[in-house]
Structure 1
Amino acid sequence: MRVLIVDTYYPAFLESHYSRSPGLAAAPYEHQWRALMDTFFATGDAYSHNLRALGHEAHEVVVNAAPLQSAWAREHGLDPAAGEDAILLAQVADFAPDVVYFQHVHSVREELLATLGRRGVLAVGQLATEPPDLGLLRAFDLIVTALPSFAARFGAAGVRTEQLRLAFDERVLKRVGPQPARHDAVFVGSLGRTQHRRSNGLVARAAWTVPIEFWGYGGQLWPPWSPVKRRYRGEAWGLEMYELLAASRIVVNRHGSIAGPYAVNMRLYEGTGMGTLVLTDNGDTLGELFAPGVEAVTYASRRELVDRIRY
């Protein structure tokens, strides 16, 4: 089977990635692609790496990485200004996949899915955020999600849906290597005050009492007297994030409301994968994934979070 994985990266990360490597934007496609995958941002090339290990042909494209996609277009006789969909469809024609796997369904137009269908290509979408309208979801041949509530909800609505649990890319361990402990308790993730108001508010209140350090996006939005703003260290992406987790004694984790009653976010896997103690809010499925009290310790209130960090 041939699988083309279509990903979309955070614009802030892409800007940082290219600004750190002058001349990279003018490099050949393969050079740019390898440099981007070697950051281990998001899922990187974990899908294609493991699919190839299973005997399949697979490749990732990052459709909103303009220098990368422009390089591919130039090398294949296509106008780099043709647009994301036009370049992607040319990549589909060139790779001839049986399946196109979209990591972010929100970035996909129904017209694009219809074109893939006419070409006999199956379209699969991965959903881990607030869903789009049902019409778009039904246009996919399959939706996969790590969220048990989504699998049940959309399956009942006539969307072909399967649950696919998250995972940790063990290749990161070789790239990062052993790290001396430089941090006590850290939080890495979205620091938004609207989308994660309740859960971030609990961690922020705990930080008045214990010295939690914060990395992520949205930290600048907190008031200057907040412990989040005072201990905000900036953003950490890809390998830098993994190095930070490995160099920390405790990783504080919290779930957004979208997770419902379940334990299902990437930080659980990333923190435990790097060998760091994860201190997390509880979830009904935590015991199915990790050994509670051994690989992950839970808290249910600000007081419990503070007490466990102190312990």
Structure 2
Amino acid sequence: MILAHVTTLYPGYVADFERRHTGLSALGYAEHYERLVRDAFGWSNHLTRHLAARGHVTAHFVANYAALQAKWLQENGAASKQDPLHIVAEQLHRTRPEVLFVDDCYLFSPVRVQALCAELPSLRLVVCHQGLDGDPRQFFPDDALVLSPAGHQVATWRAAGVDAHQFRHAFEPAVREGLETHGPRTPVSFLGSCSPLLHPERHRWLAALARQMPLEIWTDSFAAVRPRLLVGSLRRGRARQVVEHFFSPLRRRTHGPLYGRAMFAQLARSDITLNCHIAMAQPSAGNMRLFEATGAGACLVTDARRDLDEIFALDSEVVTYGSIEECVERVRWLLDHASAAAEIGARGQRRTLAAHTFAHRAAELEGLIEARLKAGTGGR
């Protein structure tokens, strides 16, 4: 099987990566790319690397990293192009994949994916990862193999005739090598988005917790906000959230954002780390923090979800709560019983390493793709 994974990166991460890695402009494409994927942001190239280890030919392209893509164009003798999709089309034309895996439903609309398919006679199947609510056919071709971490979404989509399958996030054990885990421990941490403009429920939850425990937060949620987001919030009657953004009590607890290996290092230095799924994830468990935190060895305290027990042993490998009050109670107990928190973190880490790594997910993906191709119903 020849598979190409086309993805995009969060712009804030790209800017942070370039601040932390000097001398990138002097590197060629391959060296620049290797530094990027070693930083292990998001899924990085974990899936394609493990699929390659299983005997497949794979390629991984980051469509919206302009500086990196420009190096590829220069080194491959391709004409200079500004549109990310045109560059990706050239990369795919040279790769000649049988399977195209895309996970950005904004840049890669159904029309654009179909346009890419029309230029790739080798292509037999389109695989799409969709983490948002709604009909995935708004985002991807009708005949795509659609993956989602959310079980309730998969059930809904299947009932609508979509070839949908649950495909959870994972952890890459290799990121633990060389992490800077020395230094002061953090009693209670939260890493991630908590903007009242985007995730008001999560913001209110954290604000309540911050009044009652030594919580430290790493986020970019209180950096300069886009005017368009402010105007849109006001037009939708969310003046309260706009005020909360500028006067949030969390600002006093907030450090800057951490990404990639720096994020994993902070998780590893955390005795307890918190998780709260965003509203659109109801009622399923499955955000990335479940696997990032447990993989790093922190004691994870997370909101109770309908299918969380399919992933971890509740209150043994992770600690759950059903309300703000219960969350406070459980975190306080863990702070008073440090050895118990450490044991839970260790059990959670063992479970993640035994069942939820990207090597496991690569095997799952291989099975799903091979079954679809064998059935003769590819996404063309």
Task: Please give the TM-score of this superposition, normalised by the length of structure 1.
Answer: 0.93
Deviation at 1:219, TM superposition (A): 3.0
Aligned residues: 311
Query: Displacement of 1:132 after TM fit?
Result: 6.9
Structure 2 residue 284 is matched with structure 1 residue 284: no
Instruction: Map Cα deviations across residues 174-201 of structure 1 (whole Å, 9 max, x no partner).
Output: 2327546610000011112133211331
Match of 1:67 in 2: 67
Contact 1:130 1:258 in 2 (8 A): yes
Which residue matches 1:190?
193
**Aligned partner letter, 1:307:** E
The answer as to 2:266 corresponding to 1:250 is no
Partner of 1:20: 20
Match of 2:141 in 1: 138
Q: CA–CA distance in 2 between the matches of 1:171 and 1:35?
A: 14
Letter in 2 for 1:182: R
Aligned to 2:213, the other structure's residue is in SS state coil
Provide the rounded CA distance (Å) in 1 between the counterparts of 2:260 and 2:143.
29
Aligned-pair identity in percent equals: 29
> After superposition, where does 1:143-292 map in structure 2 within 5 Å?
143-176=146-179, 179=182, 182-220=185-223, 222=244, 226-292=248-314
| TM superposition shift of 1:135 | 3.9
Conserved in 1, the CA contact under 8 Å of 2:8 and 2:64? yes
Hey, what's the Cα distance between the residues in 2 that align with 1:104 and 1:117?
A: 16
1: CA distance between counterparts of 2:40 and 2:212?
A: 34
The 2-side partners of 1:115 and 1:24 are apart by 33
> Do the aligned partners of 1:27 and 1:71 also contact (CA within 8 Å) in 2?
no
8 Å CA contact 2:171, 2:292 repeated in 1: yes
Q: What's the RMSD between the two structures over aligned residues?
A: 2.0
| Partner SS state of residue 105, structure 1 | coil
Corresponding position of 1:305? 327
Listed as ranges, the matches of 1:10-159 within 5 Å are 10-118=10-118, 119-120=120-121, 121=123, 122-131=125-134, 134-139=137-142, 141-159=144-162
Which amino acid in 1 is paired with 2:312?
A: F
Gap regions ≥5 residues in structure 2 = 226-243, 334-380
Structure 1, unaligned stretches of length 5 or more? none
- Conserved 8 A contact 1:187-1:212: yes
Distance (Å, rounded) in 2 between the aligned partners of 1:214 and 1:13: 17
Of 5-14 and 170-179, more deviation after overlay is shown by 170-179
Shift of 1:139: 4.0
Tell me, yes or no, if the aligned pair for 2:222 and 2:245 is still in contact at 8 Å.
Answer: no
Indicate conservation of the 8 Å contact 1:145/1:163, yes or no: yes
Distance in 1 of aligned mates of 2:307 and 2:182: 30
What do the CA deviations read for 1:264-286 (whole angstroms, capped 9, x no partner)?
11111111111110001101111
1:270 and 1:181, CA in 2 relative to 1: closer, same or farther beyond 3 A? farther
Task: Verify the 8 A CA contact 1:181 1:248 in the aligned structure 2.
Answer: no
Check whether the contact 2:113–2:140 (CA below 8 A) recurs between aligned residues.
no
Give 1:242 deviation, angstroms: 0.2
Instruction: Give the counterpart letter for 1:91 in structure 2.
Output: Q
State the 1:293 CA deviation: 1.1
Distance apart, 1:303 and its partner CA = 1.6
Residue type of the alignment partner of 2:69: Q
Considering Cα pairs closer than 8 Å and 6+ residues apart, tell me whether 1 or 2 has the greater RCO.
Answer: 2
* Separation in 2, partners of 1:161, 1:90: 29
CA distance 1:155–1:289, change in 2 (3 Å): same
Point out the more displaced range, 190-199 or 213-222. Answer: 213-222
CA contact (8 A) 1:185 1:248 kept: yes
Cα 1:223–1:15 change in 2 (3 A) is closer
More helix by share: 2
Instruction: Map Cα deviations across residues 71-129 of structure 1 (whole Å, 9 max, x no partner).
Output: 00111122333421111011101111111111212210334322343324122111113
Using structure 2 for the length normalisation, give the TM-score: 0.77
| Superposed displacement of residue 262, structure 1 | 1.6
Closer, same or farther in 2 for the Cα pair 1:199/1:19, shift >3 Å? closer
